[in-house]
């Protein structure tokens, strides 16, 4: 028996040795180095056999070693974020040295960047039939952007604004249209619900972002009807190599600001790390951020103009490749945030004169399965599911300080009835198929088909309380109980004719919106066509035209879930019972020119846009009721037109200098003048302008790197004058009561500078110090209302006053 056992073991060892020798006989090792044009090594570059998962990542010296490379002819690709991709045709030989050197150029203008938001598939920016702007993680770091809201300004046509100095509600405007007109995606999935959109721009830390892709207009046929203005797609970081980074930053908000009583501390600590298996078949990326910001009072009247924030965000993204052709990706994000504004923030919310307080607990995540059907990877099937759950505790209220005759009370009566609880669930599931065809009708074509279902359930309650005056309990009151479900199907074909690319697509959305609190139900089926054409006029010059149709269903939007509270009123958002869907026709045309002169890279874009809104939503104020509530009623106007021009310019003379800027000139008007004020007797609040939309705005960023270790970034944004309503009731600096009026704001130029220096601690670990100033000249609003009856929505201009900051980072990828 023992001899039989020994014989079996010997046979097994011989077979194993034979297999091992055979494997060694048919595979080889490819070694090499990746450097830039100055022969400086590029660490953490990816080098892989095209169409396979066989590859490696360069070390700190730019060196790589790829194991188990099959013998024969192959294509080996070297790529790195921020650099041009290089591909080499190579014959792998057995028993010989297989050595390669890649010399890749830094891609300052992102010409070779691969994007996914153009048509839901990977494509080079230059070959995309629509203009895709990209905000890189490098730019976010160089401008010291802590979160998404800080960084969105660095793209043409985008502007981020603060809409309430009691709670810090912010939104992004694209081409002049307010937040809900823009579809915000996370890794191409629409899980950014209406409730998340109220404060969500500050919930996404910059250290989880790989890049932000922006498509202005033309996205509705693929990403949903809310993409009337365009699409913002947040691409999170993937695990590429074993890396880590940790840092902390301190900011002093309001340094030297006129009228401010004190400086607010703003402290942010963050980290991220990734681990990748040796065979690059599995990887995980984790991140976290903790931000603590004190409230800040611009005019020293005891009421916040920047709110108190306590924010913790964390998450992960992981993948596993079961084969070279199949991949499973999982991601999860969690946010726990507390924010409070108003006065007397040390007291419970109901004991303050005015308080807006919100606590969020947000859990979101998703799964994606990608399957290719052949080694050429020209056919791909994807199945995805994502979800987001939000649990929100809120308080929007003001204590009663006067009796019904207007006489001031000796003791103010707390507003216990302003506490609320909101639950929100958003689920998105779907599938997509993509394939390349050698010939479809008249030319090679890429076909994309898909179906997805988006479900949202939102319940908002006003909590019951014990009424001390009446000595009785009041019941919990339901404010909103809405369910919406949209089934969407889309199809598109992109033809490549050589001198031009032509794309046709259509999306069908069948939506149902049901409000259980009033039994109202809306449903309809909407078709949204899309057409795009790219003319390659010459190697450096391209001309694009596009058309897209979009819609917005009459459901609850993000701003509806925010209440502006003051001692004079509480503004509640509601939909008119007869509100019908809003539709749009969007047209764009653009010309861009890209040219390299030696090492100098240049890029110029001019883009015209025209959006015709049919039955656009407009807000109308009601009278203040006995309880001090004012309803901002959303109704349909006859029509509106938003039109204008975007300009973008980039210049990179060398690796030491690069410059970019963008400017927007536009007009946003309703077809008919609309009374957008509270007081019917005030004629000057009637205007055909879409409010809070400046006719000119833009940005710039200039980087200078005189030393390998040192970088300076000068950046800024410009906001032209805009019209907005200033509601009455509050007081000015002299104590005079403010009367309602239509106001034209000042223009603002917000300049910032950042200095960065790092030390190489050995191997690939670096220690980096950052310091700088945001809003150097304190170009900030200086006419905030005074007192508890102030108009909390009378906010405009830059997000922050002058802020001085200092930070330190430690890691191998900075």
Class of domain 114-412+427-473+484-811: mainly beta
Assess contact for 56 and 88: CB atoms under 8 A. no
The three-point CA angle 755-135-198 to 5° equals: 100
- Residue 34 clears pLDDT 50, i.e. is over it: yes
Complete DSSP assignment for 439-452? EETTEEEEEEEEEE
585-631 pLDDT per residue, tens: 999 999 999 988 888 889 999 999 999 999 988 887 766 666 667 77
> Any idea which of 141-145, 392-396, 566-570, 703-707 has the lowest mean pLDDT?
566-570
The length of the chain in residues reads: 814
CB 668 within 8 A of CB 693: yes
pLDDT on residue 91: 85
Rounded average pLDDT over 266-294 = 93
Percent of the chain residues topping a pLDDT of 70: 91
What DSSP designation does 55 have? E
Quickly state the pLDDT bin for 24 (edges 50, 70, 90).
very low
The pLDDT, as a whole number, for residue 802 is 95
**In terms of Cα–Cα distance, which of 234, 233, 185 is closest to 209?**
234
8 Å CB contact between 223 and 190: yes
Intra-chain end-to-end CA distance of the chain, in Å: 63
Per-residue pLDDT, 773 = 97
The pLDDT of residue 20: 41
Phi and psi angles of residue 404, each rounded to the nearest 5 degrees, phi first: -65, -15
* Number of other CB atoms surrounding residue 769 within 10 Å: 13
- Kind and range of the H or E run holding 103: strand 98-103
The dotted CATH code for 2-103 is 2.60.40.1120
**Domain boundaries for CATH 2.60.40.1120 within the chain:** 2-103
Measured in whole angstroms, the distance separating CA 116 from the mean position of its chain's CA atoms is: 15
The one-character DSSP state at 155 is: S
- Per-residue pLDDT of 118-155, as tens digits, reads 777 778 888 888 888 889 888 898 898 988 889 999 99
What is the per-residue pLDDT for 221? 56
Specify the residue for token string 């216990």: 416
Q: Which range has highest mean pLDDT (15-29, 188-202, 249-263, 566-580)?
A: 249-263
Secondary structure element (H or E) that encloses residue 567, with its range:
none
pLDDT band at residue 23 under the 50/70/90 scheme: very low
Residue 422: Cβ within 10 Å count = 20
H helices of 91-243, in order, are 137-142, 148-151, 196-199, 220-223
Residues of the chain with CATH 2.40.170.20: 114-412+427-473+484-811
pLDDT in tens, 65-74: 888 888 888 8
CA distance 216 to 186: 17
Q: pTM score > 0.85 for this model?
A: yes
Mean pLDDT is highest, among 91-100, 544-553, 730-739, 773-782, for: 773-782
Reported as a single tens digit per residue, the pLDDT across 459-503 is: 988 888 767 767 777 888 888 888 989 999 999 999 988 899 989
Residue 93 has pLDDT above 80, yes or no: yes
Instruction: Check whether 522 has a pLDDT greater than 90.
Output: no
pLDDT value at position 739? 86
Q: Return the pLDDT at 489.
A: 93
Q: Point out the least confidently predicted range of 111-115, 641-645, 663-667.
A: 111-115
State the pLDDT confidence band at 543, using cuts at 50, 70 and 90: very high
């Amino acid at each position: 028996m023992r001899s039989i056992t020994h014989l079996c073991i010997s046979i097994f060892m011989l077979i194993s040795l034979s297999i091992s020798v055979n494997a060694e006989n048919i595979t080889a090792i490819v070694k090499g180095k990746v450097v830039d044009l100055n022969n400086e090594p590029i660490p953490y570059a990816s080098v892989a056999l095209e169409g396979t998962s066989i590859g490696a990542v360069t070390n700190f010296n730019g060196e790589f070693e790829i194991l188990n490379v099959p013998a024969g002819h192959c294509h080996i690709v070297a790529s790195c974020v921020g650099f041009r991709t290089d591909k080499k045709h190579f014959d792998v030989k057995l028993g010989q040295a297989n050595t390669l050197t890649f010399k890749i150029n830094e891609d300052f203008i992102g010409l070779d960047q691969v994007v996914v938001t153009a048509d839901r598939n990977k494509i080079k920016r230059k070959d995309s039939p629509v203009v895709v702007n990209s905000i890189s993680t490098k730019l976010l770091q160089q401008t010291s952007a802590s979160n998404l809201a800080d960084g969105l300004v660095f793209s043409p046509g985008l502007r981020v604004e603060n809409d309430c100095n009691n709670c810090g509600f912010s939104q992004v405007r694209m081409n002049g249209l307010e937040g809900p007109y823009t579809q915000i995606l996370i890794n191409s999935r629409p899980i950014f619900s209406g409730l998340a959109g109220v404060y969500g721009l500050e919930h996404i830390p910059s250290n989880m972002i790989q890049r932000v892709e922006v498509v202005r207009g033309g996205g509705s046929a693929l990403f949903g009807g809310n993409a009337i203005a365009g699409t913002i797609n947040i691409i999170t970081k993937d695990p590429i190599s074993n890396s880590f980074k940790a840092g902390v930053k301190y900011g002093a908000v309001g340094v030297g600001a006129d009228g401010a009583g004190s400086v607010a501390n703003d402290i942010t600590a963050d980290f991220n790390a990734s681990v990748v298996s040796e065979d690059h078949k599995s990887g995980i990326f984790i991140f976290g951020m903790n931000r603590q910001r004190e409230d800040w009072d611009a005019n020293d009247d005891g009421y916040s103009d920047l709110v108190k924030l306590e924010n913790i965000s964390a998450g992960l993204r992981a993948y596993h490749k079961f084969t070279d052709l199949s991949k499973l990706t999982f991601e999860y994000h969690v946010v726990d945030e507390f924010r409070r504004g108003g006065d007397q923030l040390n007291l419970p919310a109901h004991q303050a004169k005015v308080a807006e307080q919100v606590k969020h607990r947000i859990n979101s995540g998703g799964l994606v399965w990608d399957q290719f059907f052949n080694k050429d990877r020209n056919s791909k099937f994807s199945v995805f599911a994502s979800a987001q759950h939000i649990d929100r505790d809120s308080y929007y209220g003001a204590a009663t300080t006067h009796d019904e005759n207007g006489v001031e009370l000796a003791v103010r009566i707390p507003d216990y009835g302003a506490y609320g609880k909101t639950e929100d669930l958003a689920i998105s599931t779907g599938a997509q198929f993509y394939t390349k065809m050698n010939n479809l009708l008249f030319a090679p074509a890429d076909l994309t088909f898909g179906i997805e279902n988006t479900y949202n359930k939102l319940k908002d309650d006003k909590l019951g309380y014990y009424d001390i005056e009446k000595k009785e309990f009041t019941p919990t009151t339901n404010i909103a109980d809405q369910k919406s479900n949209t089934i969407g199907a889309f199809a598109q074909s992109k033809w490549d004719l050589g001198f031009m690319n032509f794309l046709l697509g259509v999306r069908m959305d069948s939506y149902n919106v049901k409000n259980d609190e009033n039994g109202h139900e809306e449903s309809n089926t909407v078709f949204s066509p899309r057409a795009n054409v790219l003319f390659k006029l010459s190697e450096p010059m391209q001309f694009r035209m596009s058309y897209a149709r979009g819609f917005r269903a009459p459901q609850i939007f993000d701003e509806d879930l925010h209440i502006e509270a003051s001692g004079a009123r509480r503004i509640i958002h509601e939909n008119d019972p007869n509100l019908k869907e809003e539709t749009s026709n969007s047209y764009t045309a653009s010309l861009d020119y890209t040219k390299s002169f030696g090492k100098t890279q240049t890029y110029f874009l001019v883009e015209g846009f025209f959006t015709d809104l049919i039955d656009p939503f407009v807000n109308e104020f009601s009278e203040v009721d006995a309880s001090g509530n004012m309803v901002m009623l959303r109704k349909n106007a006859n029509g509106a037109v938003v039109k204008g021009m975007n300009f973008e310019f980039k210049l990179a003379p060398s690796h030491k200098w690069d410059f970019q800027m963008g400017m927007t000139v536009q007009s946003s008007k309703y077809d008919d003048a609309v009374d957008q004020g509270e007081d019917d007797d005030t004629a000057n609040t009637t205007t055909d302008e879409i409010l809070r939309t400046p006719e000119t705005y833009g940005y710039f960023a200039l980087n200078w790197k005189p030393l390998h270790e040192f970088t300076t970034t000068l950046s800024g944004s410009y906001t032209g004058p805009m019209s907005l309503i200033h509601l009455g009731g509050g007081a000015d600096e002299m104590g005079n009561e403010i009367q309602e009026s239509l106001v034209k704001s000042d223009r603002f130029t917000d300049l910032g500078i950042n200095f960065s220096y790092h030390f190489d601690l050995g191997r690939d670990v670096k220690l980096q110090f950052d310091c700088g100033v945001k809003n150097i000249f304190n170009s900030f609003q200086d006419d905030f209302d005074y007192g508890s009856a102030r108009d909390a929505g009378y906010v405009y201009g830059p997000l922050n006053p002058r802020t001085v900051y200092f930070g330190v980072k430690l890691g191998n990828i900075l």
